[in-house]
Amino acid sequence: MKRRSYSLLGILLFAVCSTSLAGAQAVKRATLDPYKIGVTFPLTGPLASNAAEYIAGAQLAVDDINKSGGVKGHPLQLVVEDTQTTPQGGVASMRKLVDVDRVPVILTIFTNVVTAQMPLADQLKVPVLSPIETPGVVGKAQYAFADSARYDLAAPLLQAYWKAHRVKRVFAFLGNNAQGLVYSPLVKATVQAAGAEYQEALINLAETDFRGVITRAKDFNPDAVFFEASGSQAETTAIRQVRELGITAQYYEDSNFFQTRTWREAVGPYTEGMIFGGLKIDTNAPSVKAFAQAYRAKTGIAPGYVPGEFYDMIHMIARAMEVGGYNGEGIRNALATQKGVPSIFGGTITMGADHYTVVEAESLWQVHHGVEVRLPSPK
């Protein structure tokens, strides 16, 4: 009896000590310094309208990771700075995050900002990760990476579609920024490969009246009008004005901005019939349901594909921190060879040699009665 009582007492003491130790470890995990991720986003300026929707996707990933204990016991923390939608703002915000907040990695967006940040990323040895869709950009820097749909993946689909539908004249409205200047020869080559004539106008993102260039487009008599101006207010305004000035040609948009509420509402009824290239997040897919529900609870709307990309990018950074450590060079090296990270879109993420992730779900989508429908591949 005495030995039995002693054993029970020992067991109870062991259980108490184990519980106390586990509690102490839990407290330790909760009180470790956060691992910071810098975010340079346009909170003001002509590209700011969609920022809140995109940041929500990143924050949900941070919340999920922190609920699971963070990265090596360190909670993740987003530190956000405003780029003001300018290259100068992108550089200034990045310097502040690195020099003052001591972040080892930057989450960023928009080609004109990313191209300005890339030399600084290499200089400071701090990687930048973005969803820019302009092909052939991030591979020019050692510390720049992208997880995105890209025009070079959608271009063959557009070319085949225009050729199959005997499109003869395409007029493009492109943003007058770094992205637009890269897109210009790419879109022209796609149109010409489809056997059509091409004209374009570069529109300033801070302007609101495009009737002058639209008159030139009308004189060209296009049977297809292509838009790519970073989802800006200028882009949505141009789309409305083109219709209001009597051009009835089929609309095309390289990025699937229909999935972004602010963009969709800004264009209004003129989205009907538009054709979009790119990705669409399937909110009914098993891998997406929990994220979609949490996103709707946080924002009141369903997630578009860009918030999904930001959700994935946070998980990419977290994995890179686990593998490479909490420092810029280690994160960079881990991102460059990354594979096997589960994606909210299903499957896993692999980083390509060109510093863009491998994307296999590019499609053309057309709006019918307010709903996007996947178009069959042209033959």
Give the mean pLDDT of 17-40.
64
For residues 249 and 111, what is the distance between their CA atoms, to the nearest angstrom?
28
pLDDT tens per residue across span 106-151 = 999 999 999 999 999 999 999 999 999 988 999 999 999 999 988 8
Residue 365: closest CA among 256, 217, 204, 260: 256
pLDDT of 344 over the 60 cut: yes
With respect to residue 25, please indicate whether it lies within any of the assigned structural domains. no
For residue 59, tell me if it sits in a domain. Answer: yes
State residue 156's pLDDT score: 92
Tokens 């089929």 belong to which residue? 250
Whether residues 130 and 155 fall in one domain: no
Element (H, E) at 242: helix 233-244
Residues 245-251, mean pLDDT to the nearest whole number: 96
Which of 30-39, 89-98, 293-302, 350-359 shows the lowest per-residue confidence on average (mean pLDDT)? 30-39
Three-state DSSP at 134 gives coil
Q: Which two tokens stand for residue 89?
A: 């703002």
Least confident of 97-106, 132-141, 165-174: 132-141
Residues 61 and 116 placed together within one structural domain of the fold:
yes
Question: Three-state SS for 330?
Answer: helix
Is the CB of residue 347 less than 8 Å from the CB of residue 158? Answer: no
Q: CA-CA distances (angstroms) from residue 178 to 110, 139, 253, 329?
A: 9, 16, 18, 27
pLDDT score for 5: 34
Residues 269-290, mean pLDDT to the nearest whole number: 89
Instruction: Name the residue with tokens 């882009």.
Output: 235
pLDDT for the residue 362: 78
Is 60 exceeded by the pLDDT of residue 28?
Answer: no
pLDDT tens profile 317-336: 999 999 999 999 999 999 99
What is the structure's pLDDT at 70?
97
Same domain, 47 and 145: yes
Residue 376 lies in a domain: no
**Per-residue confidence (pLDDT) for residue 240, from 0 to 100:** 97
For residue 108, report the phi and psi dihedrals to the nearest 5 degrees.
-140, 180
Range of 59's domain?
35-149+284-350
29 assigned to some structural domain: no
Model pLDDT, residue 166:
96
Same domain, 288 and 143: yes
Mean pLDDT across the stretch 369-378? 89
Residues 163 and 249 in one domain: yes
Contacts 24+ apart (CB under 8 A), 132-138: 132/179, 133/254, 133/255, 133/278, 134/178, 134/179, 134/182, 134/183, 135/182, 135/186, 135/356, 136/182, 136/354, 137/111, 137/182, 138/114, 138/354, 138/355, 138/356
pLDDT at 283: 81
Q: Please tell me whether residues 321 and 342 are part of one structural domain.
A: yes
- Please state, as a whole number, how many other Cβ atoms lie within 10 Å of the Cβ of residue 323: 14
Question: What was the pLDDT predicted at 340?
Answer: 93
One domain for residues 39 and 137: yes
pLDDT tens digits for 35-81? 999 999 999 988 888 888 999 999 999 999 999 999 999 999 999 99
| Structural domain includes residue 156 | yes
- Please say if the pLDDT value at position 250 is more than 60: yes
- Whether 158 and 238 map to the same domain: the answer is yes
Q: Which strand ranges, in their side-by-side order, compose the sheet holding 128-130?
A: 76-82, 35-41, 106-108, 128-130, 144-146
Q: Which of 252, 229, 231, 270 is nearest to 157 (CA)?
A: 252
Q: Does pLDDT of 14 surpass 50? A: no
Residue 73 domain-assigned (yes or no): yes
- Give tens-digit pLDDT for 252-265: 998 899 989 899 99
- pLDDT at site 280: 85
* pLDDT at position 20: 42
Q: Is the same domain home to 132 and 184?
A: no
**Which of the pair, 287 or 84, is modelled with greater confidence?**
84
- CB neighbours of residue 48 within 10 Å: 18
Residue 143 CA, distance from chain mean position = 18
288 and 144 in a common domain: yes
Residue 66 is predicted with a pLDDT of 97
Within a domain: residue 24?
no
35-41 and 363-368 strand pairing: unpaired
Q: Of the candidates 205, 238, 254, which is a domain's last residue? A: 254
Q: What is the chain's mean pLDDT, rounded?
A: 89
Q: What confidence tier does 379 reach under pLDDT thresholds 50, 70, 90?
A: low
When divided into structural domains, the chain yields a total of 2
Q: Note whether 97 and 64 are same-domain residues.
A: yes
Q: Is the pLDDT of residue 187 over 50?
A: yes
pLDDT at 1 over 90: no
- Cβ 115 vs Cβ 178: under 8 Å: yes
Q: Which of 254, 275, 293 is the last residue of a domain?
A: 254
Which CATH number is 210's domain given? 3.40.50.2300
Determine the Cα–Cα distance for residues 280 and 215; give it in Å rounded to an integer: 33
Q: Is residue 96 part of a domain?
A: yes
Indicate if 168 and 216 belong to the same structural domain.
yes
Judge contact between 145 and 355, C-beta under 8 A: yes
| CA-to-CA separations, 285 to 220, 282, 291, 361, in angstroms, rounded | 43, 6, 10, 14
Answer whether 233's CB lies under 8 Å from 48's CB. Answer: no
